[in-house]
Amino acid sequence: MDPNGKREGQGICNWADGSNYTGEWKGGFRHGKGVFNSREGTRHDGMWENDIRNGPGDMLYTKTGNRIIGIWENDRLNGEATIINSGKDPKPCIFKMDIAIGLDD
């Protein structure tokens, strides 16, 4: 904790809904490298800035085993990414604001 009682440095947070975060904190916000597990069944392992995904990350959909590896900007997947669907070869893709706009078949 910092002098104001906010999370600082390495730490873990468990929310009442079952989601959790393990990683770096700054000023009470997820900030730096960390892993967030959502109640919906996703696991985001990547960089955070002021409590939002920002930078390289790996999103795993735990129920299906599908993954997206890419770059998040202001909490949205943007630019080149790789989609890895369970049991299939990796596919390059381009995202804009979380929407796939180019997918090589």
Q: What pLDDT was estimated at residue 9?
A: 95
pTM of the model: 0.89
Task: Give the CATH number for residue 38.
Answer: 2.20.110.10
For residue 104, pLDDT over 60 is answered with: no
Instruction: Please state the rounded mean pLDDT for residues 86-90.
Output: 89
Q: What pLDDT was estimated at residue 103?
A: 64
Confidence band for 58, pLDDT divided at 50, 70 and 90: very high
Place of tokens 């299906």: 64
Instruction: Please state the rounded mean pLDDT for residues 5-26.
Output: 96
Domain of residue 14, residue span: 9-103
Confidence band for 27, pLDDT divided at 50, 70 and 90: very high
Provide the number of structural domains found in the chain: 1
30-39 long-range contacts, CB within 8 A, separation 24+? 37/62
Is the residue at 57 inside a domain? yes
Is the residue at 20 inside a domain? yes
